[in-house]
A and B are shown apart, each in its own frame.
Chain A
Amino acid sequence: MQVQNPMTESVTPNQCPLCAQPVPGGNRLVGEVLSCDGCSAELEVVGVNPLRLEEAPEVEEDWGE
């Protein structure tokens, strides 16, 4: 299968969409889940180069075990 999300060599930092705390870039993956150091929100990387972050969705209908 094609590699969909190679690790990025470098990405610029972005801000938490909830509290504006800067989030370090570097070696991020689309789909990666991060915890904001400022407000502890769960964030999801939705784009790299430039780094784009969104609040991670809580659940979807058939997620999880």
Chain B
Amino acid sequence: MRKVDLVYTRVRTEEKLLLEALRRRDCAVNLVQDSGMVLSMDRQRVTEADTVLMRSMSFTRARYLATFLEMKGLRVLNSARTISLCGDKALTSAALAAKGVPMPWAFVAFDEDACLDAIDAKGYPVVTKPVLGSWGRMVARLDSRTAAEGVLSTRFGTGGAQDHVALVQEYVDKPGYDLRVYVIGRTVGGLRRRSEHWITNTARGAVPERYEVPVVHARLAEAAADAVGGDMVAVDLLETRGGDIYVNEINHCVEFARSIDETGVPLPDLIAEYVASGAGGARR
């Protein structure tokens, strides 16, 4: 029997379904709320479990907890490296670029004027997003120099040093949807997210649709997962009107409550199967 600690922030639909799926596979599951965890910086054993399923909603907590749990010898899914890369969009881009995975062109800048000059050289429109952030929050499309000045003066004039990073990305004129491919060890399915708005997060109202993942998309998503060492990730793809396909972002804590009915992909079972299989994790 595999012993699994499921680390969570809130027990949402996803966590309830994962808990049931793990128990159906005879896993002994401990539920551990991330806010109550205290981890000493030594290799002292902290759990009877051999595997940790990291479902913390907080990137900060997930990254630190996974790092320390791996240091203590545990198999953590996803790994601390994957969480660190996927949670920071600039580092995701760097990991994809290092492996030659097709993606929208992108750059980072650390100064308002330097950033404006670089955008002027590339031409409008462009997209800028915070390197840390989720659910499409604070993502902006800049259609003109005037818009860029407004957004970037806020980006560089407020917050702290961590906020003073501008990630600028090619604006991809999507045909009314983007694509999400689930990679649980291998590609297991996906969904199309349709929206009139150029931001296509289901958390922002996009409608999920069934989507049979073609082989070329599956291979691309798997290459992206490999680039970040991801065991169980959701890879967001952007398709251009000309038919080119790019990797946009990679999500390390897969959310599926809003789309599981439409996709028909049994993600809780597939994730639980992967956890129970003993594959992947920090001991690779």
Knowing A29-B11, A64-B134, say if A4 contacts B59 (CB, 8 Å). Answer: no
A5 at the interface (CB under 8 A from B): yes
Q: Interface digits, A7-21 against B, CB 8 Å rule (1 contact, 0 not)?
A: 000000000000000
Contact B203 A1 (CB under 8 A): no
Shortest beta-carbon distance from B133 to chain A in Å = 7
Whether A64 pairs with B37 at a CB distance below 8 angstroms is: no
Determine if A31 and B234 form an interchain contact, defined as CB atoms under 8 angstroms apart: no
Cβ of B5 within 8 Å of any chain A Cβ, yes or no, is yes
Residues of B in contact (CB 8 Å), total 34
Most chain A CB inside 10 Å of its own CB: which residue of B11, B251, B254: B11
| B255→A65 contact, CB < 8 A | yes
Looking at the assembled complex, report how far the CB atom of B231 sits from the nearest CB atom of chain A, in whole angstroms.
Answer: 15
* Per-residue interface assignment for chain B, residues 158 to 175, with 1 indicating a CB less than 8 Å from any chain A CB and 0 otherwise: 000000000000000000
**Interface positions of B from 47 to 67, Cβ below 8 Å from A:** 47, 49, 57-60
- Smallest CB–CB gap between A35 and chain B, Å? 10
Interface membership of chain B positions 203-214, coded 1 if the CB is closer than 8 angstroms to chain A and 0 otherwise: 100000000000
Contact A65 to B134, CB < 8 A, known contacts A3-B31, A5-B31: yes
Q: Give A14 Cβ to nearest chain B Cβ, in Å.
A: 17
Q: Tell me, rounded to whole Å, the shortest Cβ–Cβ distance linking A60 to chain B.
A: 7
Collect the chain B residues with CB atoms within 8 Å of residue A6's CB. 31
| Interchain CB contact under 8 A, B30 and A64 | no
Chain A interface size, under 10 / 10 to 19 / 20 to 34 / 35 or more: 20 to 34
Do A60 and B253 contact each other (CB < 8 Å), given the known contacts A33-B11, A33-B12?
no
Q: Which of B10, B11, B32 contacts A1 (CB 8 A)?
A: B32
CB-CB under 8 A from B105, the residues of chain A are none
A61 cross-chain contacts in B, Cβ below 8 A = 133
- Do the beta carbons of B10 and A33 come within 8 Å of each other? yes
B residues at A contact (CB < 8 Å): 5, 8-13, 16, 30-33, 36-37, 46-47, 49, 57-60, 87, 132-135, 137, 203, 234, 251-255
A-B contact pairs, 23 of them (CB 8 A): A1-B30, A1-B37, A1-B47, A1-B49, A2-B32, A3-B31, A3-B32, A4-B32, A5-B32, A5-B33, A31-B8, A32-B11, A32-B16, A62-B60, A62-B87, A63-B58, A63-B134, A63-B135, A64-B57, A64-B203, A65-B135, A65-B251, A65-B255
List the interface of chain A (C-beta within 8 A of B).
1-6, 29-33, 44, 56, 59-65
